Amino acid sequence: MEEIKKQAAQELGARLRIIRKSQKMSLQEVEKRSNGHWKAVVIGSYERADRALSVGKLAELLHFYQVPISSCFSMPSTGKVEIRQLILDLYKFRNMGEEVAPARRYISAITTKREDWNGQMLSLRKSDLETLAILFETSEVALFEQFEKWGVLIHPQQQA
């Protein structure tokens, strides 16, 4: 049971780091922009999973980042692609060539609708992957693999 708690804390910390870095903030910038409310050392401890983070503090921190709390939790996959969460790096995606043209309008529409992480990242849902696979005229698994090859996926465990 301890191992499960440790792993969950590490995954949450990695996601918090991704969120912070997607907003182009250092730990010191978080402290400065929050007028000292969030100390750099505390945020770093949360991200490394060295310090426990209550649900209330998590909600408060995500409110500061202007990110929905659901962004830190993944739903179990029921489809062919068995992943915990699929996060698309929108900056890299937008700077790609014609190979992603079929998906640009769809990605833009769902990004606008969800206001997902200030337009830097997009958490794809199962239904998004299904639709994108149709646009690319391929399977979900093949599309996931192609996203991996293009380097447009962000994994929660990445130290972005």
pLDDT digits (tens, 9 = 90+) for 56-73: 999 999 899 888 777 776
pLDDT confidence band for 1 (50 / 70 / 90): low
Has residue 81 been placed in a domain? Answer: no
Do 67 and 114 lie in one domain? The reply is no
For residue 123, the enclosing domain spans 86-154
Domains: count for the chain: 2
Has residue 77 been placed in a domain? Answer: no
Enumerate residues 6+ apart whose C-beta is below 8 A from 27: 20, 40, 41, 43, 44
Do 114 and 53 lie in one domain? The reply is no
The Cα–Cα gap between 22 and 31 comes to: 16
Can you tell me whether residue 121 is helix, strand or coil?
strand
For 15-31, write each residue's pLDDT tens digit: 888 888 877 899 999 99
Q: Do residues 87 and 121 touch, judged by C-beta distance below 8 A?
A: yes
The Cα–Cα gap between 138 and 36 comes to: 49
Has residue 79 been placed in a domain? Answer: no
E strand or H helix that includes residue 91: helix 90-94
Q: What's the full length of the chain, in residues?
A: 160
Has residue 49 been placed in a domain? Answer: yes
Has residue 67 been placed in a domain? Answer: yes
Do 6 and 34 lie in one domain? The reply is yes
What is the pTM for the complete model shown?
A: 0.50
Do 101 and 131 lie in one domain? The reply is yes
Which residue, 50, 72, 94, sits at the end of a domain? Answer: 72
For 93-139, write each residue's pLDDT tens digit: 888 888 887 788 888 888 777 766 566 788 888 888 888 888 888 87
Do 92 and 39 lie in one domain? The reply is no
